[in-house]
Amino acid sequence: MRHIAGRRTAGIVAALAVTTLVAAGCSDDNDNDKDKAASSVASAVTGSEGASTSAGEDGGGVVTLDAADGSKVELTGPIAGKYAAATEAQKKDLGKPMTGDDAAGTSDSGVVFQQFDGGVISAANGTLGTPAYITWGKIRDAWNVDRAEDGQPSDDGKGGSDGPLGAATSDETTDGDMKKSTFENGEITYDTKTDKVTVTVDGKTVDTE
């Protein structure tokens, strides 16, 4: 994943009301239910800060947010779903979506992402239903460090989802003073009491930076 320096900048994000609908089957008996579902999802909900959600052509939601530069940023697929399902505290910590060439897109590994002032939402791919996760703070910073295949920091290595840790597989969890995020090939922990970050790749602890 392309690197954007992370900082947990508090931004005020409008509350979103989103209805998640699952339509199953394709028989004529389900036509009315599917029509109702499509109609419900297609109804836009607009917040006081200009955030809105509506249906995309693929049946998934589209979340539109105001960026810091005044432009509009559209979230789609798993990224939109994760943002819509986030708590108000998470949205506040994420802040406004970033813009520019490195702010969103698809990494070399196929991971889709959207950078925010205070974090990043990423998913292993852009297919609807693929789980998406929020990564931020010092864990995000350590994930973005360029690393060799063995996980050690290297100027010739790769960082983020393209690096040896791979894609995110969890949101940040908290157990006492310890915060942790897991990845395809390891985990990163942050001890808020000691301010220590520990990076583990393929079961081996490696240098943080």
Task: Give the model's pLDDT for residue 19.
Answer: 33
Q: Are 150 and 199 contained in the same domain?
A: yes
Under the banding of pLDDT at 50, 70 and 90, the label for residue 61 is: confident
Residue 42 pLDDT more than 80?
Answer: no
Q: Are 148 and 179 contained in the same domain?
A: yes
Q: Are 93 and 39 contained in the same domain?
A: yes
User: Residue 22 domain-assigned?
Assistant: yes
State the residue range of the domain holding 114. Answer: 1-119
Q: Are 36 and 102 contained in the same domain?
A: yes
Q: Are 8 and 39 contained in the same domain?
A: yes
Average pLDDT for the chain? 80
Residue 41 pLDDT more than 50?
Answer: no
3-state DSSP of the chain: CCCCCCCCCCCCCCCCCCCCCCCCCCCHHHHHHHHHHHHHHHCCEECCCCCEEEECCCCCEEEEEECCCCCEEEEEHHHHHHHHHCCHHHHHHHCCECCCCCCEEECCCCCEEEEECCEEEEECCCCCCCCEEEEEHHHHHHHCCCECCCCCECCCCECHHHCCCCCECCCCEEECCEEEEEECCEEEEEECCCCEEEEEECCEEECCC
Task: Give the model's pLDDT for residue 32.
Answer: 44
Task: Give the model's pLDDT for residue 51.
Answer: 59
Q: Are 169 and 68 contained in the same domain?
A: no
Under the banding of pLDDT at 50, 70 and 90, the label for residue 72 is: very high
User: Residue 126 domain-assigned?
Assistant: no
Percent residues over pLDDT 90 in the chain? 69
Report the number of distinct structural domains present in the chain.
Answer: 2
Q: Are 170 and 109 contained in the same domain?
A: no
Q: Are 23 and 88 contained in the same domain?
A: yes
Q: Are 112 and 152 contained in the same domain?
A: no
